[in-house]
Chain A
Amino acid sequence: MTRTLQAAWTIARKDLRIEARSRELVYTTLFFAVACLLVFAFAFVRERPIDNAAAGILWVALAFSGTLALGRTFERERQGETLRALLLAPVERGAVYLGKLIALLLLMAAVEMVVVPIVGLLFSAPLLRAPALLAGLLALGTVGFAAIGTLFAAMLVRASSRDVLLPILLYPMTAPLLIAGVQGTAAIFADEPNLVLAQNWLAMLLFFDAVVVTVALWVFGAVMTE
């Protein structure tokens, strides 16, 4: 168990080091997320932002930019032809999956650090009303989204037309996570905030994450066989 986690951390550190040197993913993902926010402003700001739009805008921006980052994480392995080497490494398959997942999560967390405050500013969302609860919803929602996304991105790495297929698979599958994330956040941002409801959605997210990560670990081992 510790060995698997150590191996996962080694793989994550490798990805993060490559990212730290090029900063390709973090800059492009971040810029894309901000570009999404701009489009949302055209769609949802009349005199001022329409009511209760902030939660949805935040989560859609995160889901879209997350998809962009996902497509690229395995693309590097493919371009460098290192995927086979990675899968040949004498560690459990699960470690490869977890390593990729951890690297992606840290990347998405970095993007969220910037995007969330911008949403607060541009769409007047009360971010500081329940900061711990909001952080929990974002963290758990991101974990579930990234867990499904990492699996599908890994599966599709050798498929033709993978760029189109990834979002097609991803959005229906992550529907429960997005619903829980948006509804929980909307409960915090509402004019009459309902923190108990937000806590319930947080608990749901925890449950979804447990299911998703367990199934994804098994499926990853079964699918990545060559």
Chain B
Amino acid sequence: MMNRLVPILLIAAAVIFGYAPFLIRDSPAEDTMGVVFKIFYFHVSSALTMMLSAIVCAIASAAYLRRRSRTADHIALAAAELAVVFGAIVLITGPLWARKSWGFWWVWDARVTSTLVMWMMFSSYLLLRKYAGVGSETLSAAVGVFAGVMSPLVYKSVDIWRTQHPTTNVLPSLPPGMRGVWLWCLVGFLLLYVALMALRTRLAASQAALDDLHLALED
């Protein structure tokens, strides 16, 4: 069913992303940051998509450790990869924005630092997956579970350590003109995420099936 949905999702995402620049151009300028603020629409949307992907990866990893379901493993792998991809978007758009509004490329604040640490955790998941050899699914599942558990702790500890970033209560207080544009972008990111997840999970399943065939042929 997912397979038939993928083209529809991709077309919908393409339409949304195609129209997003016009909406962002026409959105009202923010009072203090002006035009720089407009990076917000992609920055926050990709950050939320990354969080979603991290949660999916942690849950799928726990499910794999419990039941050894290969589907759960493929979902976890796809989610870890996409967490790294969307995290990269966050970590690139973040400094661009920070340079203009705070004056520094990088600030060691709670949200920035914990995003970087989380991104590193999921990158290490992928490194482990690639280089650990036999049994790397189980090992990386353990890392996925741990990354899911540690992420809130990372956030909490850096939050007490230092804070400069705008807090989440910015989102509900967005003026209506901005909120609509942001939701538009968020939906685009989420549709793209679901489509990529479906494709990547299917690819992982095909790779596993191919490996099985190879093994059967060698025996």
Contact = CB atoms under 8 A, between A and B. Distances in A.
Interface of A: 148, 151-152, 155-156, 158-162, 164-165, 168-169, 172-173, 175-176, 179-180, 183, 200, 204, 208, 211, 215, 219, 222-223, 225
Tell me the dominant secondary structure on chain A's binding face.
helix
Nearest to A179: B157
Contacts of B22: none
B161 A179 contact: yes
A175 B127 contact: no
Interface string B144-177: 0111011001101110110000000000000000
Given A176-B156, A219-B65, A219-B145, A165 B138 contact: no
Nearest to A171: B120
B65 A165 contact: no
A161 B65 contact: no
B36 interface: no
Given A175-B157, A180-B157, A219 B131 contact: no
A176 B156 CA distance: 8
Given A169-B143, A172-B121, A223-B142, A159 B149 contact: no
A204 B139 CA distance: 28
Contact of B127 (A148, A162, A165, A176): A165
A56 B117 CA distance: 18
Nearest to A164: B131
A168 B128 CA distance: 9
A165 B136 CA distance: 12
Nearest to A158: B135
B71 interface: no
Contacts of A215: 145-146, 149
A168 B153 CA distance: 19
7 contacts: A156-B132, A159-B128, A159-B135, A165-B131, A168-B128, A173-B143, A219-B142
